[in-house]
Amino acid sequence: MSERAITEASSYTDRILKLVPAEFVAAYLAIHNAIASTEMDEGRQFEVSLASSLLLLAILPFYSYRILGIRSKRQNIAAAISFMIWVISLGGVLESFAWYLPVYSTIAIIIWTLAAPLLVTR
């Protein structure tokens, strides 16, 4: 069994740590910073950022299954949702939308951080 697999014996804190795909958050941040440092126009930056985010999201379940050895569908789904919440909380793609306010991402990450470990128990 993978070190990152959530079991019934996993504590609440362990569940939080295991649900956040740190490699993918780090990859997103590196890509976001690389895009921001270019001279692309804002529209093109948005397109590249969105495409990169969606590609990372598509890779995540396969990475979790093959590399991390996580077999739980619930945990893999929760990891994908966690990644999306982190992307939202870090701004980036959503900053282009007129309706976006940083407080939305703050609320989302707080609620998800509290709820996710309760939803994935094994």
Structural domain boundaries, residue 88: 20-119
CA nearest to 94, candidates 39, 28, 37: 28
Q: Note the pTM of the prediction, 2 decimals.
A: 0.78
Place of tokens 């014996």: 9
> Is residue 1 domain-resident?
no
> Is residue 112 domain-resident?
yes
Structure tokens at 7: 């079991």
Domain count, the chain: 1
List Cα–Cα distances, 8 to 19, 89, 119, in angstroms: 14, 29, 12
pLDDT above 90 (res 10)? no
pLDDT value at residue 86: 83
Answer whether 28's CB lies under 8 Å from 87's CB: yes
Per-residue pLDDT reduced to its tens digit, 37-88: 999 898 898 899 999 999 999 999 999 889 888 888 888 888 888 888 888 8
Sign of CA dihedral 93, 97, 103, 105: negative
